Amino acid sequence: MNPLQRIHTAFAEAGATGWLHAVDIDTGAEINVGADHLVVTASVHKLCLLLTLHQHAEQGRLDLTEQVECPSGGRTAGPTGLAAMLDPVRISLRDAAYLMTALSDNAAAELLLERVGLEAVNTTTQSLGLTHTRALHTFAQNLTTIREDAGPDGAQALTDPHVIARLRALDPARTNHSTPRDMTRLLTAIWRDEACTPEHSAAIRRLLALQVWPHRLASGFPFDDVHVAGKTGTLPTLRNEIGVIEYPDGGRYAIAVFTRAANPAATLPAIDAVIGTTARIAVGALRTR
């Protein structure tokens, strides 16, 4: 089978519909599996916020060492970082950005959104020509729509296909969205120092490399000399990751993989793993050209 057939087969065997775009950052060669399909970004959109934060710092509109307060009550829900902590926290903007990026901390993301504003994030993506990328809600607002749409049964209802079908958070027309191609363009701009200054681009790349989740994109590249930097996104039935794979010979490959599962179960290791599997197939194809 050719690489595209192998990728389609891998998604199907994992029980997922998948969309993928991979591009050689230096030559522009690409692998396209539904690269222009509109997809729900979920926490992948935190990279757009991270870039906006650094652009504002570059322009002198904020100081990344500025301290912000995160009170103990009313935090955005989530299983990691500030969202899971119980006591008041005082933290710098850049350390909140670390928690948002490396741990996908929703509460840290909300602190940063309060500082820069949602429309500033859209201005950032528009300025880079990412015409299919837009944030309609904050991360807290997205979670609110899920609670509202799930109804009185709460999280337990999220295993019901009828409930899943009505979630606004899973409809790219009604929530934060992009395309795989837009996301690889964003990554390419960051890796080529085109989205902001080299200093700020390096800071963004550092945070993406500190991501703690090894079960998706990184699982396809279990080699000590291959560097993986990425950002995940997760919602009911959705598992995504975008990132850059760097080889010791200098090869750099931006990749975006978005999936939707037929099974509404919260734990589906095969679909997490297929993100790494399809990324490895795509990058391998680019490297043999």
| pLDDT tens, position by position, 232-275 | 999 999 999 999 999 999 999 999 999 999 999 999 999 999 99
* pTM: predicted TM-score of the whole model, two decimal places: 0.97
Q: Which two tokens stand for residue 198?
A: 């080299």
For the four alpha carbons of 139, 141, 143 and 146, in that order, the dihedral sign comes to negative
pLDDT at 206 over 90: yes
**Coil, helix or strand for 172?**
coil
Q: Which two tokens stand for residue 99?
A: 């928690």
pLDDT at 218 over 90: yes
Q: Confidence class of residue 73 from pLDDT cuts 50, 70 and 90?
A: confident
Nearest CA among 237, 233, 235 for reference residue 257: 233
What rounded mean pLDDT belongs to the chain?
97
For the four alpha carbons of 149, 153, 158 and 159, in that order, the dihedral sign comes to negative
Q: Confidence class of residue 87 from pLDDT cuts 50, 70 and 90?
A: very high
| pLDDT for position 264 | 92
pLDDT at 153 over 90: no
Q: What mean pLDDT is predicted for residues 200-229?
A: 97
Instruction: Name 92's bridge partners.
Output: 67
Q: What mean pLDDT is predicted for residues 145-166?
A: 91
Specify whether the backbone of 15 is left (phi greater than 0), alpha (psi in -120 to 50) or beta. left
The runs of H, that is alpha helices, within the chain are 3-14, 46-58, 93-102, 106-116, 118-127, 139-150, 161-166, 180-191, 198-209, 269-287
Architecture of domain 3-287: 3-Layer(aba) Sandwich (3.40)
Q: What mean pLDDT is predicted for residues 156-178?
A: 94
pLDDT at 112 over 90: yes
